Amino acid sequence: MSFDTVFVANRGEIAVRVIRTCRALGLRTVVGYSEADRGSLPTRLADRAVCLGPARAADSYLRIPTVVAAALGTGAQAVHPGYGFLSENPEFGRQCAAAGLVLIGPTPAQLERIGNKLAARQAAIEAGVPVVPGEAVDTPEAAQRAAAAIGYPVLLKAVAGGGGRGMKRVDAPAELAERFALATAEASAAFGDPRLYVEAFVATGRHVEVQVLGDGERVIHLGERDCSVQRRYQKVLEEAGAPRLAPTLRTALHEAAVRFAASLGYRGLGTVECLVDPVREAFYFLEMNARIQVEHPVTEMLTGLDLVAEQIGIAQGAALRLAQSEIRFQGHAIECRINAEDPSQDFRPSPGTVRMVRWPDAPHVRVDTHVESGYRIPPFYDSLVAKLIVHGADRARACAAMREALAATRIEGIATNLALHQAILADTDFATGGVDTNWLGRALPRLLAPGLQAVPA
């Protein structure tokens, strides 16, 4: 499985991230780009860049035959899919394998099983990992029966996907038929699969996920992350470790994640996402993401590991180079996702030209971005501009460091959620730690209040 050239099948900050690690490892890189990304930072950093097609992702980044042909035609022997796009597509994994390309990630069979939420849920049950009460449904009538048995409120969720698409909360029987139709339509449009399942809704749940790493024989964990600061099921801010989590519950989460991944013979980097019920001090398996996560830098800041390098080592056939007892967690880390969107206009996307950008420069701050002064943000993809990541000896000092980093950041020419992050970091609820996944939705009216000033660092 040895290779010396990696095809980066992605764009934006994650493409930059992968290219830089490959360069540090002495590997040549080729990046595929769409016409909208011509001349972008990843295309200039890679050893070679090749156009995959028009701007729309469906015509470029998501075209499996095109990506495979581009990798082969440029002499790559391996493909790093990053996150999103084809990163969890089992058919992409199969076509890479058929072409003799190493996919830097889990096996196609593992992608198939994990990508289907019902199959992943069953695997969790078989591994002895608790799951949220629920069941698959194929009609509104079946959903009504299941919801009545579970008890309202419930969530309708897409079998084939995540990221909040195809997900609807239902608080009463009268709402179910309409929400079922909406969720089915969303799931079909987003994933090509209209199937849904119903699960109980935990009103004050926290989203806590565990980073795992496996070589097909052995699995270790790299700690947990709290991703509860969300808006409409989209993560906004993440931190590691999870604040205000009972030690016994933290240990149980780690052990369950390792047990689940080990039951799959998991190979590569993955994240086991759980819903934590702080009232009952219980947790439930939600899903597993079989790829690198957007928020992986906070884990890197705590462990000192390069997770992309670990992915590549396993893809080259190496065994895990560390035992669980050798993983050390130092301090606390926070990541803010800076998006090109306008919070005052219901978070409307804000593509356009970045006239000027200034990122913070301090030893405890990391900036993952592909954006520079003069860059034009295209309207065709997600709105992520950059990730600001800070590390502190403890959570209080990490929060202080993030306030300083946000204050030092300047972006002109587009609307961003920078001020929202400043408001979050200034909020007493967030400072206390342990907010639930609905906290941001409840807090937005005061966080976005006109004239709100962030507390100076």
Are the beta carbons of 207 and 141 closer than 8 angstroms? Answer: no
Q: Any idea of the CA torsion for 385, 44, 372, 10, to the nearest 10 degrees?
A: 0
Strands 384-392 and 365-369: antiparallel
Q: Which of 121, 225, 291, 337 is catalytic?
A: 291
217 close to 317: Cβ distance less than 8 angstroms:
no
The strand pair at 48-53 and 28-34 is best described as parallel
Residue 337 known to be catalytic: no
- Quick count: other Cβ atoms within 10 Å of Cβ 188? 15
Within 8 A by CB and 6+ apart from 326, the residues are none
152-186 burial, b at 16+ Cβ within 10 Å, e below that, comes to eebbbbbbbbbebbbbbebeeeeebeebbeebbeb
Q: Which of 327, 349, 214, 319 is nearest to 272 (CA)?
A: 214
In angstroms, rounded to a whole number, what is the distance separating the alpha carbons of residues 253 and 273? 10
d(CA 204, CA 206): 7
Instruction: Provide the 3-class DSSP secondary structure of residue 90.
Output: helix
**Catalytic (active-site) positions:** 291
